[in-house]
Amino acid sequence: MAYLEKFNHWLNSKEIDQETKQELLSIKDEKDIEDRFYKDLEFGTGGLRGIIGAGSNRMNVYTVGKATQGLADYLKDNFNNPSVAIAYDSRNMSKEFAKAAALNLCANGIKVYLYESLRPTPVLSFTVRYLKCSAGIVVTASHNPKQYNGYKVYGQDGGQVTDNAAKAILSCINKVNDFSDIKVLDEKKAVEKDLLIYIGEDIDKVYIEKVKGLSIREELVKESAEDLNIIYTPIHGTGNIPVRRVLRELGYKNLQVVKEQEIPDGNFPTAPYPNPEEPAVFALALEMAKNLNADIIFGTDPDCDRIGVVVKDNKGEYKVLTGNQTGMLLTHYVLSSLKELNKMPKNGVLIKTIVTTESVRGIAEEYGVELIEVLTGFKYIGEKIKEFEMDGSKNYLFGFEESYGYLAGNFVRDKDAVIASMLICEMTLYYKKQGKTLYEALLELYEKYGYFKEKLVSFELKGKEGQEKISNCIEYLRHSMKPTINGCNIVRKMDYKTSIEKDLLKFQEKIIDLPKSNVLKFVLEDNSWFVVRPSGTEPKMKVYLSVTGNTMEDAEKKIEEFQKSIMDIVNTSLE
């Protein structure tokens, strides 16, 4: 169906409310109509994400309803007496979308456990496991701008659904042909029939206790937690209550919250792009730090699964750490502490994604821990944890991705900024007691394991034309990439779409044992590398770069030169 046909179908449908029709009628730009209707909002391997508004390519109660009806059909086909846990964050329309999904599931005879107020994404992951639900839904667009919202689906293991389950759910969604196929039950009737159950504090308590149980150096924290000076910003999101509660109960008394960013607000008035990867979100926290002399500053994104960290450098100036740097610090702290305290289990394993820093490879080797790589997306880390739990082959210790997501423990199956905030404070306290800042600890790790420098460059390419440009660029790099960059040979090419890794010097090939994905990785003979992939959540193409240097200055110089070379190639392919 062409976009204008879809547009008119919405206008003429008896199932579409008048307010939505009025929004559509007010559109004057045909390009806007095309963007709203040229495709259906895609249900990817994690669910939906898009701009809030009317249209088949937008987040609204109808696209949420269609996805949920498909999910309901899938659950009824695969489970006896299925149940679903639902949580939502502080974004605009999150509560409305969560309730719409709940009442649709209830109309299909599926029991729903719905949080009575907003909760972090990792709490939903835990809840699915704790209540032994068949699936979970969290309404969030993570760190996207305020115009966005999203809908992520979780399996019964508490992890985001991965490829096979997502395909099966998508097949059911595609069979929902009309809005009249979407069932809805009145809220009062859903409660009366015991199909809709509101949940809250009881599960919070269990989750918080489990998070506190992940503390590695309990005695240090018990004796010295009040010596640490902390500034925290929830960036108008869901982290405020659980993060502060965990730290308070562990004894961290000197914790100050950025008041202007404390209250949940889907308009994110102080942070238009509420992403802890962006240094700008810490402007207010840094202003506070001038008077408070904080040892650590950190912020969590709206659904509290990502965390950004700010520390004092060796000049006394505050510096925002990259996700890779925080991951390197946490990896070393977790493994070295477990080893020192004789808590290291046999067959320990560390997991990272293919675009995440190689700096932890040497750390894993030193502590006798296996390092496993997965595709980009924490759902693949969760999938591995499930695999290890089922076959008992390995003990999961820690996992992270460069995009500021970290997880210790196995009672949550997604990145968890509540857990990460607790470990980051403990780690900072540990180094403080040794007379070191976290930045000084990072420099010691670089000196020991190598000076790694990484960078991410994003290209925003909106609409149908943008998607075509992304596709064409990746195809160009797949088939037309030159064998050298600045005189340095490309020695390995990993094509995750074809599942083939080529050794370009030995002319050998091997199979990549990972799910297929339209991603390319090139490794050069000096161990620098770059990856190109389309974003799964935004209209962007992402380019990841990594180099190693003999010193920090050397690494920084190399990454600048490498970036220029790669950007020249990418820009040429986008023309």
Q: pLDDT tens-digit profile of 319-366?
A: 999 999 999 999 999 999 999 999 999 999 999 999 999 999 999 999
Cα 241–Cα 412–Cα 419 angle in degrees, nearest 5: 45
Asked if 174 and 257 sit in the same domain, the reply is no
% of the chain at pLDDT higher than 90: 88
Residue 28 placed within a domain = no
Which of 383, 414, 449 marks a domain boundary? 449
β-pair type (540-549, 451-460) = antiparallel
Asked if 222 and 366 sit in the same domain, the reply is yes
Give the whole-angstrom CA distance, residue 337 versus residue 373: 23
Give the whole-angstrom CA distance, residue 575 versus residue 571: 6
Range with lowest mean pLDDT among 162-166, 251-255, 570-574: 570-574
Give the pLDDT confidence score for residue 470 in this predicted structure: 87
For residue 526, give its domain range.
452-574
The arithmetic mean of pLDDT across residues 492-518, rounded, is 94
Per the prediction, the chain carries an average pLDDT of 95
pLDDT tens digits, one per residue of 515-558: 999 999 999 999 999 999 988 666 788 999 999 999 999 999 99
Residue 431 placed within a domain = yes
Phi, psi angles (nearest 5°) of residue 34: -60, -45
Asked if 427 and 342 sit in the same domain, the reply is yes
Q: DSSP characters for 218-239?
A: HHHHHHHGGG--EEEE-TTSS-
Asked if 439 and 486 sit in the same domain, the reply is no
Residue 93 placed within a domain = yes
What is the 8-class DSSP label of residue 1? -
Residue 117 appears among annotated catalytic residues = no
Q: Which residues pair with 400 in a beta bridge?
A: 352, 406
User: What is the CATH classification number for the domain harbouring 114?
Assistant: 3.40.120.10
Q: Which of 56, 125, 134, 142 is catalytic?
A: 142
- 383: Cβ contacts below 8 Å, ≥ 6 apart: 159, 162, 374
Closest Cα partner for 330 from 213, 257, 417, 233? 417
Question: Could you tell me if 104 and 184 are in contact, meaning their C-beta atoms sit under 8 angstroms apart?
Answer: yes
Residue 494 placed within a domain = yes
Give the pLDDT confidence score for residue 43 in this predicted structure: 87
Residue 7 placed within a domain = no
Asked if 249 and 274 sit in the same domain, the reply is yes
Asked if 501 and 561 sit in the same domain, the reply is yes
Closest Cα partner for 155 from 136, 172, 173, 170? 136
Residue 108 placed within a domain = yes
Give the pLDDT confidence score for residue 537 in this predicted structure: 65
> Which residue reads 């820093």 in tokens?
357
Asked if 422 and 480 sit in the same domain, the reply is no
Asked if 444 and 457 sit in the same domain, the reply is no
Give the whole-angstrom CA distance, residue 473 versus residue 475: 5
Helix then strand then coil, % of the chain, to nearest 5: 45, 20, 35
Asked if 421 and 319 sit in the same domain, the reply is yes
Which of 394, 423, 449 marks a domain boundary? 449
Which of 150, 178, 199 marks a domain boundary? 199
Give the whole-angstrom CA distance, residue 319 versus residue 443: 13
Asked if 225 and 370 sit in the same domain, the reply is yes
Closest Cα partner for 40 from 145, 168, 177? 177
In angstroms, how far is the first alpha carbon of the chain from the final one? Answer: 30
Q: Check pLDDT > 90 for residue 286.
A: yes
% of the chain at pLDDT higher than 70: 99
Using only C-alpha atoms, the chain has a radius of gyration, in whole angstroms, of 24
Asked if 156 and 295 sit in the same domain, the reply is no
Residue 214 placed within a domain = yes
The arithmetic mean of pLDDT across residues 401-421, rounded, is 97
User: What is the CATH classification number for the domain harbouring 493?
Assistant: 3.30.310.50
Residue 26 placed within a domain = no
Asked if 439 and 522 sit in the same domain, the reply is no
pLDDT tens digits, one per residue of 10-54: 999 999 999 999 999 999 999 999 999 999 998 876 689 999 999
Q: Check pLDDT > 90 for residue 137.
A: yes
Q: Structural domain tally of the chain?
A: 3
Sign of CA dihedral 38, 40, 41, 44: negative
What is the 8-class DSSP label of residue 415? -
pLDDT tens digits, one per residue of 434-472: 999 999 999 999 999 999 999 999 888 777 788 888 888
What does pTM read for this prediction? 0.95
Give the whole-angstrom CA distance, residue 256 versus residue 249: 15
